[in-house]
Amino acid sequence: MAKKLVRFDWAMKRLLRNKANFDILEGFLSELLYEDFKIKQILESEGNKEAEDDKFNRVDILVENKKGELVIVEIQNTREADYFQRMLYGTAKVIVEHIAEGQPYSQVKKVYSVNIVYFDLGQGDDYVYHGTTTFIGIHSNHELELSEKQKELFKKTSVSDLYPEYYVIKTNRFNEVAKDTLDEWIYFLKTSEIKDEFTAKGLKSASQKLDILKLDPADRKEYDRYMEAQRSDASFVETVKLEITTAVNEALKSREEEIAESALIEGASVDFVVKITGLSIEQIRGIAERLGLNK
């Protein structure tokens, strides 16, 4: 049986910044990055600053691991056409902000950008994507590699290890069938539920610490307020979509009626006008009657 928990975006904003809860985020990143991820500290970022208005569609958290690498975890709830560019901007901003003036470029930190999106970003049939930077010879098709001295200097084995890496988790594409431990995490990200049989790192702790019923009164009040804001936002988006659809349909209907009027005036038959406009026979006859035509 699955236990209903607080949403992960709200947990990132309110609970996961607490050192006592680091194991939850560490578990998720360990499963995603296929390594034993340990958080050294939570760094300040736009999304983990306290704000008076909690009706946000984006939450992000910036962490540093024991190796000095930086990880941006961002959750985006609503569609943004330029989200790919924002992923790029986010990593670039973090890189610039975490190298001191006068330091050599060898001190540029490795950055991972983990993006959990609740809309269909781009086109693709998978629900987890991983992006890296490699250099391939245009004539030989061979990958450019680090020299032995560079490997020693950077403590890295490949050129791609020096550059930001991007992960995109498209929760809406996940079919809620967990085939491995990463899927178990994605199931939680999509449904806010954790099944008893799940064994992924961090989920047992999440099941205990993110239980809605165990929130203290202040946090429960904030969570309820946040969820109400999310429902309000979802309702607003749905209303706007409905209004746009209605406006488009009315515009198309108006255009079809104009075509029908012109065709009837030119002497076209009712059957012919039905074929070219898609309007019903009753609609065409109504237009003809309004025009004073005997059809």
**Residue 225 within a domain:** no
Q: Collapse the DSSP code of 38 into the 3-class scheme (helix H, G, I; strand E, B; otherwise coil) and give the result.
A: coil
Which of 184, 214, 244 is the last residue before a domain boundary? 214
**Residue 250 within a domain:** yes
Do residues 119 and 190 share a domain?
yes
**Residue 226 within a domain:** no
Q: What confidence score (pLDDT) does residue 228 get?
A: 82
Which of 182, 214, 246 is the last residue before a domain boundary? 214
Do residues 29 and 123 share a domain?
yes
Do residues 105 and 187 share a domain?
yes
Q: What confidence score (pLDDT) does residue 27 get?
A: 96
**Residue 82 within a domain:** yes
Q: What is the pTM of this model?
A: 0.76
Q: What confidence score (pLDDT) does residue 47 get?
A: 47
Q: What confidence score (pLDDT) does residue 252 get?
A: 64
Do residues 210 and 249 share a domain?
no
For 3, the enclosing helix (H) or strand (E) is strand 2-4
Do residues 246 and 196 share a domain?
no
Q: What confidence score (pLDDT) does residue 219 get?
A: 87
Q: What confidence score (pLDDT) does residue 227 get?
A: 81
Q: What confidence score (pLDDT) does residue 55 get?
A: 42
Do residues 22 and 124 share a domain?
yes
Q: What confidence tens digit (pLDDT) does each residue in 285-294 have? A: 888 888 888 7
Backbone angles phi, psi at 247, to 5 degrees: -65, -40
Q: What confidence score (pLDDT) does residue 147 get?
A: 96
Q: Domain count of the chain?
A: 2
Do residues 120 and 253 share a domain?
no
Do residues 148 and 270 share a domain?
no
Q: What confidence score (pLDDT) does residue 54 get?
A: 43
Which of 214, 245, 262 is the last residue before a domain boundary? 214
**Residue 223 within a domain:** no
Do residues 84 and 206 share a domain?
yes
Question: Which range marks the domain in which residue 27 is found?
Answer: 2-214
Q: What confidence score (pLDDT) does residue 95 get?
A: 94
Q: What confidence tens digit (pLDDT) does each residue in 139-175 have? A: 999 999 999 999 999 999 999 999 999 999 999 999 9
What residues of the chain score a pLDDT lower than 70? 1-3, 45-58, 233-234, 236-237, 249-250, 252-253, 295
- Asked whether 258 and 231 are in contact (CB, 8 A), the reply is no
Q: Collapse the DSSP code of 162 into the 3-class scheme (helix H, G, I; strand E, B; otherwise coil) and give the result.
A: helix
Q: What confidence score (pLDDT) does residue 1 get?
A: 62
Do residues 137 and 177 share a domain?
yes
